[in-house]
Amino acid sequence: MLTPKYPPQDTPSPPPTQPQTAAPVPAAQAHAPVTPEPPVSTRPTIQLTPGSALALAAGGGAVVLVVGAVLVSLLLAVAITGVSVAVVAIVLRLLVNDLNKSR
C-alpha cells in the first residue's frame, strides 16, 4: 500500500559498456596548472549611476525614518496605556478603601 509503484519501462536499458581507459598524459602537460574558468552568470548586472545611488540612499533613509516613527509611536501608545491603567487602579483602590471605611 505504501510502496511506490513505478510505470513499466517501454524501452530496455542499453547494455553496459566497457570502461574506457584514459590515454597517458605527456609529462609536460601533467604538471601544468589547471585554472578553472569562472562561471558565467546569466543574471543581469546592476549598474548604479550617481543619480540612482542618491535615490537609493534617500529611499533607504526614508524607510528608516518611517519605521522608526512607527516603532516610537507604538512604544508611546504602550506607555500611555500603562499609565492610564495605573491611574485607574489607584482610583479604584481609593474607592474601595472609602467604601470599607464607611461601613
CB 56 within 8 A of CB 48: yes
Rounded percentage of the chain residues whose pLDDT exceeds 90: 48
- Enter the C-alpha cell of residue 15: 547494455
Is 80 exceeded by the pLDDT of residue 66?
A: yes
DSSP string, 10-78: SSPPPPPPPPPPPPPPPHHHHTSPP-PPPPPP-SPP----HHHHHHHHHHHHHHHHHHHHHHHHHHHHH
pLDDT tens track for 35-60: 778 777 788 888 889 999 999 999 99
Flag whether the pTM goes above 0.85.
Answer: no
d(CA 58, CA 66): 12
